[in-house]
Amino acid sequence: MADYDVFELGDVVLQSGMTLRDAKLVYTTYGSLNRRRDNAILFPTFYGGQHMQNEPMIGAGMALDPAAYFIIVPNMFGNGLSSSPSNTPPPYDRARFPPVTLYDNVMCQHRLVTEQFGVERLALVTGFSMGAQQTFHWGALFPDMVERILPWCGSAKTSRHNFVFLEGVKTALTADDAWRGGWYDTPPTKGLRALARVYSGWVVSQAFYREQSYLQLGAASLEDFLVMQEGRRLNSDANNLLAMLWSWQQGDISANPLYNGDFEKALGAISAKAIVMPSQTDLYFPPEDNEWEVRHMPHAEFRPIPSIWGHMAGSPGVNPVDTAFIDSALKELLVS
Amino acid sequence: MADYDVFELGDVVLQSGMTLRDAKLVYTTYGSLNRRRDNAILFPTFYGGQHMQNEPMIGAGMALDPAAYFIIVPNMFGNGLSSSPSNTPPPYDRARFPPVTLYDNVMCQHRLVTEQFGVERLALVTGFSMGAQQTFHWGALFPDMVERILPWCGSAKTSRHNFVFLEGVKTALTADDAWRGGWYDTPPTKGLRALARVYSGWVVSQAFYREQSYLQLGAASLEDFLVMQEGRRLNSDANNLLAMLWSWQQGDISANPLYNGDFEKALGAISAKAIVMPSQTDLYFPPEDNEWEVRHMPHAEFRPIPSIWGHMAGSPGVNPVDTAFIDSALKELLVS
């Protein structure tokens, strides 16, 4: 009783020069494609998330209403559903899973959208965090195909500081000998817990802890919250987390043959109507980076989420107030 | 040819209920105590630093001028010079080194100042980071003895977020099996490198990386900077780093019999004339925490350092512009 479908990509040559053989793009859809095929929305997943984690943004009465829209949620490579270290057969399995960029992801998603559904225009591409990064990629790579974008809590290019934060996350995990360079048979739980604990400092803001906002998430204390966060990562495969982390670190809408690293040109090519929504207190996708990006996008508005929840402000459904703020902007954009 | 002196404390009963037996407080002095004994300045050390690392703030023409002042630099417990896991004989060595608070540190420093030098009033207590935290302790624990304080890049109480950031740092180190619960014979270098890489995301700001300010520190690239930072930690003893980290996590000027956890009362008791200087972009001692503290201190001014160097803005001598800004405030305070 799978709640998803598999799009068979065949052999995909990646930017890294490696081939993702017999690649699979797992996706789910909500609602129906109308006869004019103009009500499709693409909503890529975020780091460590699968399509189910996007669902709190989808529903009757919300912007992403399946009664009105055909919503496609493609799972990012490495997330354990689409081709990933954990589900790819040898010799491309585990530590040998080839590096996949967000460009690679979006090119494969493009095939899904056009070949599987015959969709030539997307009413909206939207996403959270790495989903926002994929959203920016769509805007820059297929400007004629994307009418609107709403990336939240993510940037068009991974900043140097963001890269360094991820270095810390990665190194905490790989410091565990049980990781065995990716060739573990039993999970490196100590490293996964370390990764989670490092992450906990970054994923919310200083003010989130000052105000003890974690109590709203069902944590009884600070330490209880930290262990809850460990629990989220213990269910993840270490190589999968590292594969997606690599994709994130390389994130750059201009790192491809279309733009050859000319970041301003790539931003300038995003003709979609856009609302770009950082969280005001995000520590690794700080609003300043989006503010700069928006200045180079022709039809974009910069609209920070007024929240002390840091990056977690954007996590689908976690904080009702921030979720409503994002949903409201999505509604506004969709009727504009 | 030691450049320091040792103050023998004897057996010190700590807040934790353990005894630091045959405890040693290592210190250095600069300049001479005048006849009136009213020109003494106390300048405690910071995390991972020893007295040598304070020296860029001391010199002819600077605020802390040995020609005018008698400057005492006490080494924090755990820093490898004063009693530490690395230099304490069994059974209190290594993983069994007893937990030491900043209160314990300051009570022992008080004995040094009064018993060794007969100093009853300090013209100034000042310090960076954990040195700032010790400075706040002096202000709250010995208000009649301290005329002025200038804590920079540190708070009177370790915030919850700061605590969580340190959890990540700690967990990255201890994820290395070579750490062996503190009973290593060879250093857990993988863990020390992981600690350093996690730290690198926190110790400077997002803007520091955006502007590639690390190039000013002699790094040829981002990765070169990260390896330089690893080098700084490889020379440290893991248990020492963990001992100081514990002291940092517990930092709170009111966690003692004088104030019984009444933080506002402790801040209100700091009668010293104070200039409190966070770095505008510090990620773990953010200005907001100091701003709140200053509102509860009777004679304090809040004066952020306008810098994109994050916490590192305060690191003695690392950034000449910020060092000069702090030195200038020290001069102003000393003549007021």
> In A, which residues are within 8 Å of B208 by CB distance?
161
**Beta strands of B18-165 (E only): which ranges?**
19-30, 40-42, 70-74, 124-128, 148-152
pLDDT at B1 over 70: no
Work out the mean pLDDT of chain B and round it to a whole number: 97
Going by their DSSP bridges, the two strands B148-152 and B70-74 should be labelled as unpaired
**Minimal CA separation from B23 to chain A, in Å:** 32
Would you call A176 and B176 a contact, using CB atoms and an 8 Å cutoff? yes
A264 and A281 Cβ atoms separated by less than 8 Å: no
Q: CA B304, CA A28: separation in Å to the nearest integer?
A: 50
pLDDT at B32: 97
Average pLDDT of B233-243?
97
Nearest CA-CA partner of A168 in B165, B196, B220, B164: B196
> In B, which residues are within 8 Å of A205 by CB distance?
161
> In B, which residues are within 8 Å of A212 by CB distance?
160
Chain B, 125-154: which have a CB under 8 Å from a chain A CB? Answer: none
Q: CA B268, CA A320: separation in Å to the nearest integer?
A: 39
pLDDT per residue as tens digits for the range B66-122: 999 999 999 999 999 999 999 999 999 999 999 999 999 999 999 999 999 999 999
**Minimal CA separation from A68 to chain B, in Å:** 41
> In B, which residues are within 8 Å of A198 by CB distance?
168-169, 171-172, 198
Give domain limits for chain A.
Answer: 5-159+252-334, 162-244
Chain centroid offset of residue A262 CA? 23
Work out the mean pLDDT of chain A and round it to a whole number: 97
Which pLDDT band holds residue B2 (cuts at 50, 70, 90)?
Answer: low
Is A322 marked active-site?
no
**Beta strands of A198-316 (E only): which ranges?**
273-276, 300-302
**Minimal CA separation from A332 to chain B, in Å:** 31
> In A, which residues are within 8 Å of B161 by CB distance?
201, 205-206, 208-210
Among all residues of chain A, which has the CA nearest to that of B200? A164
Choose which CATH entry (3.40.50.300, 3.30.70.2190, 3.90.1150.110, 3.40.50.1820) describes domain B5-159+251-334: 3.40.50.1820
pLDDT at A2: 63
Would you call A194 and B177 a contact, using CB atoms and an 8 Å cutoff? no
pLDDT at A27: 98
Going by their DSSP bridges, the two strands A124-128 and A148-152 should be labelled as parallel
Would you call A176 and B175 a contact, using CB atoms and an 8 Å cutoff? yes
Q: CA A199, CA A202: separation in Å to the nearest integer?
A: 5
Would you call A208 and B164 a contact, using CB atoms and an 8 Å cutoff? no
Residue position matching structure tokens 């987390």: A241
Residue position matching structure tokens 């750490």: B179
Q: CA A294, CA A276: separation in Å to the nearest integer?
A: 7
> In B, which residues are within 8 Å of A280 by CB distance?
none
Average pLDDT of A93-100?
97
pLDDT at A48: 93
**Beta strands of A196-313 (E only): which ranges?**
273-276, 300-302
pLDDT at B323 over 60: yes
Among all residues of chain B, which has the CA nearest to that of A226? B164
Give me the residues paired with residue B7 across strands.
B25
A158, A159, A162, A164: best mutation site toward chain B, by most B Cβ within 10 Å? A164
Would you call B167 and A200 a contact, using CB atoms and an 8 Å cutoff? yes
Instruction: State the CB neighbour count (10 A cutoff) for residue A95.
Output: 15
B155, B157, B161, B227: best mutation site toward chain A, by most A Cβ within 10 Å? B161
Would you call B190 and A175 a contact, using CB atoms and an 8 Å cutoff? yes
Any A CB within 8 A of B221 CB: no
> In B, which residues are within 8 Å of A192 by CB distance?
none
Would you call A168 and B283 a contact, using CB atoms and an 8 Å cutoff? no
How many CB pairs (< 8 A) connect A and B? 128
Q: CA A323, CA A235: separation in Å to the nearest integer?
A: 25
pLDDT at A328 over 80: yes
Average pLDDT of A144-162?
98
Q: Which of A83, A86, A129, A279 is catalytic?
A: A129
pLDDT at A268: 98
Q: CA A134, CA B332: separation in Å to the nearest integer?
A: 52
pLDDT at B108: 98
Give residues with Cβ within 8 angstroms of A132, minimum separation 6: A46, A151, A152, A153, A154, A155, A285, A314
**Minimal CA separation from A51 to chain B, in Å:** 29
- Record the tokens describing residue A164, joined without a space: 């360094």
Tell me which CATH code domain A5-159+252-334 carries. Answer: 3.40.50.1820
Q: CA B237, CA B241: separation in Å to the nearest integer?
A: 6
pLDDT per residue as tens digits for the range B139-152: 999 999 999 999 99
pLDDT per residue as tens digits for the range B244-275: 999 999 999 999 999 999 999 999 999 999 99
Residues in chain A: 336
